[in-house]
């Protein structure tokens, strides 16, 4: 029974990180400044606004109590460093802005489904291994007796 608990604990931890990543990505792609950035005459100022906006992020209270705020700092640093590349991509595909947020959440749902399915499969394998182990042990005892 403890193995099933460990499997689901790992799945829940991975799902929490996956959800945090999806939340941060969803917030990033849903930023109102993208539309301003596409038509901006001063792209450096737009990138600076993006970096300031990322730096102002805070975890939702429920997640902050559970994860602690230090988990968000590396994500902020990574996204802030990627701001110029993101601006370049948005400039290439301005029509993509309207579909990015739904794409992020569809990808989150697919990833969550994969994680939960993996947890179910590993639990089934553990159950089968325990059942097979019990049958092997009974056959050994029957032959010895």
Q: Is the pLDDT of residue 26 over 80?
A: yes
For 85-128, the pLDDT digits (tens) are 777 777 776 677 778 888 999 999 999 999 999 999 998 888 88
- The whole model's pTM is what? 0.60
DSSP letters, the chain, are -HHHHHHHHHHHHHHHHHHHHHHHHHHHHT-THHHHHHT-S-HHHHHHHHHHHHHT----HHHHHHH-GGGHHHHHHHHHHTHHHHHHHHHH-GGGHHHHHHHHHHHHHHHHHHHHHHHHHHHHHHHHHHHHHHHHHHHHHHHH-
Predicted confidence at residue 51, as pLDDT, reads 76
pLDDT band for 132, please (50, 70, 90 cuts).
Answer: low
pLDDT digits (tens, 9 = 90+) for 28-57: 777 777 666 666 666 667 677 777 877 787
Most confident of 11-20, 79-88, 94-103: 11-20
Closest CA to 25 of 109, 108, 94: 108
| Confidence (pLDDT) at 15 | 95
Give the total number of structural domains in the chain: 1
For 113, the domain range is: 2-144
Of residues 61 and 46, more confidently modeled: 61
């Amino acid at each position: 029974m403890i193995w099933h608990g460990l499997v689901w604990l790992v799945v829940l931890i991975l799902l929490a990180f996956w959800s945090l990543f999806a939340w941060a990505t969803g917030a990033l792609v849903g930023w109102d400044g993208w539309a301003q950035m596409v038509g901006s005459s001063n792209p450096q100022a737009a990138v600076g606004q993006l970096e300031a906006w990322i730096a102002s992020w805070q975890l939702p209270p429920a997640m902050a109590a559970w994860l602690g705020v230090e988990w968000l700092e590396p994500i902020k640093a990574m996204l802030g460093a990627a701001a110029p590349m993101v601006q370049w991509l948005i400039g290439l595909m301005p029509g993509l802005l309207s579909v990015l947020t739904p794409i992020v959440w569809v990808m989150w749902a697919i990833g969550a489904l994969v994680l939960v399915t993996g947890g179910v499969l590993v639990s089934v394998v553990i159950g089968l291994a325990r059942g097979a182990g019990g049958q092997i042990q009974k056959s050994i005892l029957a032959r010895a007796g």
